[in-house]
Structure 1
Amino acid sequence: MEFKDLEIFQLVAEKGTVSEVAKEFNYVQSNITSRIQKLETQLNTSLFNRHRRGMSLTPEGKTLLAYSKEILILVEEMKKAVQSNEEPSGKLEVGTVETVYQLPTILSSFIKKYRKIDLSLFTGVTETLEEEVLNHKLDGAFVTEADFHPNLVSQEVFDEELVLISDMRDLTLEELKNEPFLCFSKGCGYRARLENWYKDQNIKPQKVMEFGTLETILRSVAMGLGVSFVPRSSVAHLVESGRIQCHILPKEYSKVKTVFIRRADCYLTATIEKFIETIEANKEAQNVF
């Protein structure tokens, strides 16, 4: 049994058609079909139901899919484990919430020092990023501190102060409670904090509006569309220019930590090790100032 056959099997299971997988691997369809048939012969069982709409997994196919995912993850771990500790290289896929203001400094320091690493960055909310790290889709992620899955370890990056932001109208905190709440989707740590404050204050927002990017939220707040809850560091420039204003909430809602999470059971590759070192160096530099 070849690892490539398992890769092909996994992709056919995901796509449901041989033709799409053939395009992705740049193979002829008959090559993909013969590899699947070879796998079925080796295992002496049918892995797919064939029908006019495509292919779907049999019960045996679903069992193999679970094992094949684990096998291919171990293969990838094996490759990473034999990298040179002196000069890390290869792919590094990292996730982040949108408001990590120190991230450009961390990434710039890392990329300049380790030029052989191909780094990709993905954004999302804390809950989604946690799932993607758990499912081996990301090597790690910058998220808001929470009660994480036991298979994850976290490393503190820095402390944040969250503030309620609004436009420049002269409104009291009591009046702001009635403004629409602009936020990211469910699973965002900042949203959860403000929702807890609302709940404890017996407030029910008149309207909750979800946005995909921080920039859109900030522009909408500045135009008077509603209020939001974001790190003070991410809006300092807008406060200085007089476009928005900040309102302080009690510490139990406003004090949060940004952490870097990764799987506890994965081999600590040279790449991840050097990335964590860069995070620590950035923390020390911030403490100096």
Structure 2
Amino acid sequence: MEYADLRVLEIVARHGSMNRAAAELHTVQSNVTARIRALEEQVGTALFERSRRGVVLTAAGQRLLPYAARLAALLREAREAACDDGTPRGTLRVGSLETSAALRLPPLLSAYAQAYPEVGLLVTTGTSGSLVADVLEQRLDGAFVSGPVQHADLIEEAVFREELMLITAPGLRHMDALDGQRELKIIVFRRGCSYRQRLENILAQRGIQTAQPLEFGSLEAILGCVAAGVGVTLLPKPVAMPFWRDGRVAAHELPPEQARVDTVFIRRRATRLTSTLAAFLAIARPAPLKLAAGS
């Protein structure tokens, strides 16, 4: 079994079609079909179920597929190691929470781009859950997520601290007005958002029952719904302050044990620390730890 065989497996699985996979590989369909059949003979079991509408992975194919991504990442790491002479260059793939990307990352990315112009920066936003998965599967070199993560395969270090606030419609003067409510709507980022469970716990401690959350992919949508009185959310103070100063929302302070949370940078423990990533971490690390925006 060779990496080239697993790459064909991944492309066929992604397209669900031998013909479309052949187009991506710049070959004919018969060659792709032959490679897959040869691979199936090597492993001793069928890897795809065939039908008129295309192909789908069997259970065995699904178990084999992740090795294609792992080998691709290992080969990429080997090439980078061979070329790494201590000067940051190449591509750096970084993940970030939506709020961190809006408030914390711009000056950091600007400083890094100016210091290391030979590095191409690719930034992906997502929830803590999705970003952790992306780092573990080596789709990202590292990511800013809400901590602590405490995963055996990851190295994490705190880079800045957030102060969270409960954000409500502007007419709500005090959090006590929410106490005892039933079916209160919470407005959060999609599933995997680190603040979702934290917000539910804060409200539960006040005897507030929540309804099915509303999920959005942008800060503007979340704050717009809160301003309209649809529900409440939990966000870092600097995110909410412009909306609070304009009178569009009300921002309520929380006890320190509920308000403070660290944003950490995570990377894979087993992956070599490249000069490119080391230089990025040197700029991102605070000295000393201080309050800043993010999540």
Q: TM-score range by the shorter chain?
A: 0.7 to 0.9
**Equivalent residues in 2 for 1:1-289, closer than 5 Å:** 2-40=2-40, 47-57=47-57, 61-62=61-62, 64-100=64-100, 101-177=103-179, 178=181, 179-206=184-211, 208-280=213-285, 283-284=286-287
Matched AA of 2:79: K
Q: Which moved more, 1:186-195 or 1:165-174?
A: 165-174
Partners of 2:6 and 2:67 within 8 A in 1: no
2:162 match: secondary structure? strand
Unaligned runs of 5+ in 2: none
**How big is the shift at 1:6?**
2.4
Partners of 2:156 and 2:267 within 8 A in 1: yes
Pair 1:226–1:273, CA change in 2 (3 A): same
Partners of 1:88 and 1:271 within 8 A in 2: yes
Pair 1:42–1:224, CA change in 2 (3 A): closer
Once superposed, what is the RMSD of the aligned Cα atoms? 2.7
Give, in whole Å, the separation in 1 of the partners of 2:152 and 2:83: 27
**How big is the shift at 1:206?**
4.9
Partners of 2:145 and 2:263 within 8 A in 1: yes
Identity %: 38
1:108 match: secondary structure? helix
1:153 match: secondary structure? strand
TM-score, normalised by the number of residues in structure 2: 0.85
Give, in whole Å, the separation in 2 of the partners of 1:61 and 1:165: 47
**How big is the shift at 1:36?**
3.1
**How big is the shift at 1:113?**
2.1
Matched AA of 1:183: V
**How big is the shift at 1:229?**
0.8
1:99 match: secondary structure? helix
Give, in whole Å, the separation in 2 of the partners of 1:182 and 1:69: 35
Partners of 1:91 and 1:117 within 8 A in 2: yes
Partners of 2:159 and 2:289 within 8 A in 1: no
Give, in whole Å, the separation in 2 of the partners of 1:141 and 1:271: 14
Matched AA of 1:93: R
Partners of 1:193 and 1:254 within 8 A in 2: no
User: 1:111-160 CA distances to partner (integer Å, 9 max, x unpaired)?
Assistant: 22222222222111111211121122221111110343211111211011
**How big is the shift at 1:34?**
3.8
